[in-house]
Amino acid sequence: MTESKAVKDTAIDDQGIIKGIEQLSPEKIERVINQVLKSETGARLKTYVDTCVHCGLCSDGCHYFLAHDRDPKYSPAAKVKQTLWEIIRKKGKVTPEFIENAAVVAYTQCNLCKRCAMYCPFGLDIAYVMSVMRRICHKLGVVPLYIQDTAHSHSVTKNQMWIKDDEWVDTLMWQEEEAQDEVENLRIPLDKEGADVFYSVIGPEPKFRAQLIYQAAVIMNAAGENWTMPSMPGWDNSDMCMYTGDYEMMERLKKAHFEAAANLKVKKIVMGECGHAFRSVYDMGNRALGWKMPPLEVIHAIEYYNDLFVKEKIKIKKKFDRPVTLHDPCNIVRGRGLHEMSRNIVNATCKNFIEMTPNREHNYCCVAGGGVINCGPPFKNARVDSGKIKAEQLFAAKAKGAEVVIAPCHNCHGGLEDIIHHYGIDMELKFFGDIIYEILELPE
């Protein structure tokens, strides 16, 4: 095994990166880089890289920089310096060791959270630059093992967790049966043509959190929703290919997702509580395929739940009485502006709400986002260490009395769970679906 510089520096042992680097030659690196820069980037990347005046105003926007005692290496501009800026300056003539470090930076030291873009006087989008770096690494075959494996799962099964077609349907039937113990004749209607709602989830739900599908079914049932879920691939709205840089697969996945819904002639897609999947369906994947906006109406669970309360389609027994705080996921807040709707739901469901500070579009990332958590155990310690700022936010909310953190995103749950555990914060994590299900008044 090559003990290369980035590995030694960070004590990281990632076979995806280490072995990937071993298969590189300077010629291959130069060819792939120039192909990506020439045919896939254009004016946007050039403008970003040329416009940056290295003023450093973005630094304080980045939780990595703050969590590492303001180490300049972790500032957004320095991440560009360690990756694309150097690549462009050297016209692609960089070494395998350079690519190794660039891969570690792009995949594991940036959550693509776009917070820094709000503090840059020019609005430069460092997340985009890091995505270009990831695209180059993907084409070079230098991708952290765990997230690469997830992307491979997508390519074979069209879901993130290697779930086989039969396992998916079996899980839905199991959840339907379980829920029927609570609500007689409740259905998770499969392939119901012409339904109003096509409910899609991410791969980890059937694999690890099947109770979320159960809860969604109970809520849909209580709301009298005409809904469906597909029995065949296209049910998973998640997308790690977007984060590895495998855009051809991202396109294949989003096509399958939209077509699963369109073939059933549904009115809209309601997505479960996931942030990155929303980014993929609402921004990246749809546009890569040629749609300015999603071809069918797509709404996040937050919009759906908010609508249920606004239209009084569900009733609650009583409000959730433990004090809660709210984590604003980057992809649906900075990416879609759903922060006020989230608060509407909190106010409709919870007695005591304590704001986390900063919040809304200024909220800090959970440090799991952008596929960083999906890079797996080799990077876990570094990730959790970088969660110091998030931990401080949580401690502050706890000091004001918050006992429960609501995070309407799966990745955020993963990231916050690790932070809560590592920093000993003693708070409980919940989805909106957990809260609504708990206080829901079931119709007669």
Partner 1 sequence: MSNNNSWDWDTGKRLVADLEPWHNEFSYMEEARISPHGENIAAIVKNEDMEFTICSQGADGSFITWENSYDKIWNLKYGPDNRLSALISDMAEWTVSTDDTPWENTYDFAWDMTFNPAGTHVSVSTQKELQYSVITNDVPWENSYSRLTDMALSPDGNHTAAVVETIPVLESEIFKFRKGCYSVAVDGTPWGTNFMNVWDPVFSWDNARVAASVRTNYQDYFIAVDGKTWNKSFTSVWMPRFSPVDKSVTAPVKTNGKWFLAKDGDIVWDRGYHQLWHHFYSRDGLKIAAIVASEFGKWTLAVDDTPWEITFSQYLTDAVLSDDGKRAACVFKDDNKWGIAVDGGAWEDKFDMAWKPVFSPDGRKVAAKVEINGAYHVVVDGTVFKTAYDHLESPVFSSDGSKLLIKGIEKNRYHREIISVKGGL
Task: Report the interface residues with ligand SF4, using CB under 6 A.
Answer: 52-58, 61-62, 64, 76-77, 79, 110-116, 120, 122, 124, 126-127, 365
- Interface with partner 1 in residues 296-315 (CB under 8 A): 296-297
The answer to whether 365 and 113 have CB atoms below 8 angstroms apart is yes
Residue 123, phi-psi category: left (phi > 0), alpha (psi -120 to 50), beta (remainder): left
Q: Please report whether residue 290 would count as binding partner 1 according to CB under 8 A.
A: yes
Residue 233 burial by CB count (10 A; 0-12/13-18/19+): exposed, middle or buried? Answer: middle
Identify residue 227 by its one-letter amino acid code.
W
The set of residues, in sequence order, having a beta carbon less than 8 Å from that of 35 and lying 6+ positions away, is 139
CA-to-CA distance for 111 and 99, rounded, in angstroms?
A: 19
The partner in contact with residue 194, picked from ligand SF4, partner 1, none with C-beta cut-offs of 5 to 8 angstroms by kind, is partner 1
Minimum separation from the CB atom of position 258 to ligand SF4 (A)? 27
Q: Which of 101, 108, 111, 153 binds partner 1 (CB under 8 A)?
A: 153
Q: Please report whether residue 104 would count as binding partner 1 according to CB under 8 A.
A: no
Minimum separation from the CB atom of position 117 to ligand SF4 (A)? 7
Q: Which of 8, 11, 25, 39 binds partner 1 (CB under 8 A)?
A: 39
Minimum separation from the CB atom of position 394 to partner 1 (A)? 32
Identify residue 360 by its one-letter amino acid code.
R
The answer to whether 222 and 214 have CB atoms below 8 angstroms apart is no
Helix 388-399, helix 410-422: angle, nearest 10:
80
Minimum separation from the CB atom of position 443 to ligand SF4 (A)? 44
Task: Name the pairing type of β-strands 324-326 and 404-406.
Answer: parallel
The partner in contact with residue 323, picked from ligand SF4, partner 1, none with C-beta cut-offs of 5 to 8 angstroms by kind, is none
Minimum separation from the CB atom of position 135 to partner 1 (A)? 11
Our CB check for partner 1 shows the closer of 155 and 344 to be: 155
Q: Which of 44, 291, 347, 401 binds partner 1 (CB under 8 A)?
A: 291
Six-digit token pair at 143? 């991708």
Instruction: Compose the 215-254 pattern: x for residues touching partner 1 by CB under 8 A, - for all others.
Output: ----------------xxx------------x-x--xx--
344-362 core/surface letters (b: 16 or more CB in 10 A; e: else): bbbebbbebbbebeebbee
CA-to-CA distance for 45 and 171, rounded, in angstroms?
A: 44
Our CB check for ligand SF4 shows the closer of 330 and 345 to be: 330
Measuring CA to CA, how many Å separate 315 from each of 227, 309, 319, 341, 441? 19, 8, 10, 18, 5
The partner in contact with residue 267, picked from ligand SF4, partner 1, none with C-beta cut-offs of 5 to 8 angstroms by kind, is partner 1
- Interface with partner 1 in residues 2-31 (CB under 8 A): 15-16, 19
Residue 399 phi, psi dihedral angles, 5° rounding: -60, -30
Q: Please report whether residue 155 would count as binding partner 1 according to CB under 8 A.
A: yes
Q: Please report whether residue 164 would count as binding partner 1 according to CB under 8 A.
A: yes
Whether the link from the prior residue into 230 is cis, omega within 30° of 0, is: no
**Nearest one of 212, 159, 209, 216 to 188, comparing CA atoms:** 216
Residue 290: count of CB within 10 angstroms of its CB: 8
The partner in contact with residue 58, picked from partner 1, ligand SF4, none with C-beta cut-offs of 5 to 8 angstroms by kind, is ligand SF4
Q: Which residue has the tokens 């990347």?
A: 45
103-111, 139-147, 398-406, 410-418 -> range binding partner 1 (CB under 8 A):
139-147
Footprint of partner 1 (CB under 8 A): 15-16, 19, 39-40, 138-139, 141, 145-146, 148-149, 152-153, 155-157, 162, 164-166, 169-170, 173, 185, 187, 189-192, 194, 231-233, 246, 248, 251-252, 255, 262, 265, 267, 289-293, 295-297
